Amino acid sequence: MAKWGMVIDLDTCTGCQACTTACAMENNRLPGENWQDVLFYHEGTYPNVKLMWFPRPCMHCENPSCVSVCPTKATYKDPDGGFVLMDYNKCIGCKYCQVACPYGVRFYVDEKAVVQPDIRGVFPSEAGRQWDPPYKGPQDDPSRGIGIQPHGVVSKCTFCYHKVSKAPKGVADLDEDIPELKEYVPACVRVCAPKARFFGDLDQPQSMVNKLIADKRGVRLKDETGNKPQVYYLSGGATASVPSLRSMNDSGQS
């Protein structure tokens, strides 16, 4: 049984947001409701200004606080792979998980559309789902939070379960540059042009993700929460870095 993990190299991430849009395409995301977001920060005074960015998927924590608080066991940790998934058939939309998640990567689906007019009204669903765009992905598994959401639920990144779970058993790394593996790689990893993302099995010592975490000092975001993310960040501080409190407190910041 694999424990899938992601490594994001902030030194080579170019902040292009291809991860965001590829995820949107693969997982039918609504505009502005990014399972995989890139957050931008800046600090300093002209002409010495530091612009930084931080790509943020669901951390698929080993000890996820969202799972602990879910009253219906709608969100759960899949022991085979370590995915944190949603079962829309069980979700009651109470949003406890949204509050409990330290990383802000859960979304209640019935929010007002960020971009108006609401695209859900342009492609309405006749099957009780949020919407029904002609370009929606063919995969649909509500018990794992895959496919277009029904109303009244919370949605989240699946680590592209519909791809990763079909990977050949025992593979240590899902590297998009290996032709026979590319279809099993999460969308955000597969498109990443500077190859700032790596995806592999944290339980296999020989995996590239483990090597990178060791050699390049991989860190987990907000490790003090004890959530133990399965997403690690590499940062030599050159291109982007983990946002500091200094930047968060700056006026005019989001």
Partner 1 sequence: MDILSTGLSRRRFLQASGTAGALGAVGLGGGALTTLREAEAQAATTPGETRITKNICHQCPARCGIDVYTTNGRVHAIYGTADHPISNGKLCPKGPLGTYILYDPDRFKGPMKRTNPNKGRNEDPGFVPISWEEALDTVAERLNTLRDQGESHRFALCYGRGWGASCAGLQGTFGSLYGSPNVAIGHSSMCSDGSIISKKALDGVGGYNAYDYANANMLLMFGVGFLEAFRPYNNNMQVWGYIRGVKVPKTRITAVDIHINTTLAGSDRALMIKPGTDGALALAIAHVILTEGLWERSFVGDFTDGVNRFKTGERVSPSLFEEKWVKGLVDWWNTELKDRTPAWAAEITDLYERDILATAREFGTTRPSIALFERGAHAHSNGVLNGMAIHALNALVGSLYAKGGLMSQMGPSYGPMPVDAKDFMDDYALNGPWKTQPRIDLKGHKDGYLLANNMLQELGPNSLAGNPYKLDTVMFYQTNPIWTAPNGQVWEEALKEVFVIDTSPFPGETAMFADLILPDHTYLERLQDAPTYPFQGWPMTQLRVPAIAPLYDTQYFGDTLIEIGKRIKGPMGDYYKALDNTENVIRHLAKGFATDPGDNGVNDFESWKEKGVWYKKPYIYRFVDGEFYTWDGQDYAILMTEEEVKESLFKTDSGKFELRSGWLESNADWIARKTGRDPRTLMFPHWEEPVHPGGGDLYMVTPKVAMHAEGRGANIPIAIATLQPVLGGRKTAYIEINPQTARARGIANGSRVRLSSDLGSIEGYCKYYEGCRPDTIVFPMEHGHWAMGRWAKDRLPGHCGEITVNQSDRITGQCSYYTTKVSIEAV
Site map (CB under 8 A) of partner 1, residues 118-157, x = contact = xxxxxx----xx---xxxxxxxxxxxx-x---xxxx----
Site map (CB under 8 A) of partner 1, residues 94-113, x = contact = xx------------xxxxxx
> In the complex, what is the shortest distance from the CB of residue 140 to partner 1, in angstroms, rounded to a whole number?
5
Contact region with partner 1 (CB under 8 A), list: 27-35, 96-104, 200-208, 221-229: 27-35
Q: Which two tokens stand for residue 71?
A: 């009253």
d(CA 181, CA 168): 8
User: What's the start-to-end Cα distance of the chain, in Å?
Assistant: 40
- Given the complex with partner 1, which of 26 and 201 has the nearer CB atom? 26
Size of interface with partner 1, in residues (CB under 8 A): 97
Contact region with partner 1 (CB under 8 A), list: 97-105, 165-173, 194-202, 220-228: 194-202
> In the complex, what is the shortest distance from the CB of residue 152 to partner 1, in angstroms, rounded to a whole number?
4
Residue 204 within binding range of partner 1, rule CB under 8 A: no
The count of other CB atoms within 10 Å of the CB of residue 104 is: 11
Interacting residues with partner 1 between 78 and 97 (CB under 8 A)? 87-95
Describe the strand order of the beta sheet including 4-9 as a list of residue ranges.
197-201, 4-9, 231-234
Residue 49 within binding range of partner 1, rule CB under 8 A: yes
Interacting residues with partner 1 between 233 and 252 (CB under 8 A)? 238-240, 251-252
Residue 24 within binding range of partner 1, rule CB under 8 A: yes
d(CA 16, CA 34): 14
> In the complex, what is the shortest distance from the CB of residue 195 to partner 1, in angstroms, rounded to a whole number?
5
Interacting residues with partner 1 between 160 and 189 (CB under 8 A)? 176-177, 179, 182, 187
Q: Which residues of 67-81 are buried (b: 16+ CB within 10 A; e: fewer)?
A: beebeeebbbbbeeb
Instruction: Name the amino acid, one letter, at 69.
Output: V
Instruction: Return the ∠ at Cα 82 (arms to 76 and 83), rounded to 5°.
Output: 55
d(CA 12, CA 233): 11
